Amino acid sequence: MSNLAEGRCLCGSVQYKIEGEPLWAGHCHCASCRRNTGSAIATFAGFRPRQVSFTAAARRFYESSPGARRGFCEKCGTPMSYEAVKYPNEIHMYVGTLDDPELFAPTFHVFYSERINWFDTADDLPRHQGLLGRRAR
């Protein structure tokens, strides 16, 4: 694998490296992601677990819904990852925790039907009502 990327939490306790290309990258508008990040939108890149290695302190986990867990730094609280039974063999990393978030540009929006009406992005990316499938526009 190539294309090494690195990331970390706000305090630097949890650090990671990524090797290879992402499976996908996209914006999520769901209420759960908004609450987890405290922001209007969350941007993820999906990888195979073997592509991501944590190189410093271990993440802690919170089960945000049945079969879904969110990894975070227990020291500073930075959200780091999302893993779910419904996405086997994937780990979704928050692009904002990368040292160079420009590396993984989003190509779509999901859960657009849950968006905050006063927030929109000036892009022409596909907007899906829920998961990839039915378009919102």
pLDDT at residue 135 is higher than 80: no
pLDDT, tens only, 21-63: 999 999 999 999 999 999 999 999 999 999 999 998 999 999 9
Following DSSP, what letter does each residue of 46-100 receive, concatenated?
Answer: EE-GGGEEE-SSPPEEEEEETTEEEEE-TTT--EEEEEETTSTT-EEEEGGGBS-
- What predicted TM-score, i.e. pTM, was given to this entire model? 0.90
Burial class (CB in 10 A: 0-12, 13-18, 19+), 51: buried
pLDDT at residue 3 is higher than 70: no
Q: Domains in the chain and their CATH numbers?
A: 5-114 (2.170.150.70)
52-54/109-110 β-pairing: unpaired
